[in-house]
Amino acid sequence: MIGGRFIIIDDSGNPKAVLMDYKEFENLMVEKVAGDLARNLAEVQEINQEITRAQMDDLKIEVENEETNRIRVEPLPGLDSELD
C-alpha cells in the first residue's frame, strides 16, 4: 500500500494494476480530461487561424484584381426607349 493505494505487481516486480478510492480516481480523470480538452482546443484554434489566414490571402488577391473582376451592368439593347 502506497499513499492509500494498493499496487498490484507481477512476479517480475512490474506494476500491473492500482486500487484506489473512487473519488481520487474521478479527480485524476477530471484533470486528464481537462488536459485533453485544452490540447484539442489549442489544435482547433490553430486550424481556425490557418483557415482565416487563407481566407484573408484570397480576399487580398480578389481586392488586388478588382479591376479585372469588375461586374458591369448595362441596359439591354432596345430597352432605352421603353424607359423614357
Q: Could you state, in order of their start, the residue ranges of all structural domains in the chain?
A: 6-65
Cell numbers that stand for 30 in this block = 477530471
Cβ contacts of residue 57 below 8 Å, gap of 6+? none
- By the 8 A CB rule, do 15 and 9 touch? yes
pLDDT at 9: 86
pLDDT at 40: 93
More confident residue, 80 or 32: 32
pLDDT tens string 34-58: 989 999 999 999 999 999 999 988 8
Name the percent of the chain lying above pLDDT 90. Answer: 30
- By the 8 A CB rule, do 4 and 20 touch? yes
**Which contiguous run of DSSP H or E holds residue 52?**
helix 22-64
Cell numbers that stand for 20 in this block = 484506489
Nearest-angstrom CA–CA distance, 16 and 8: 6
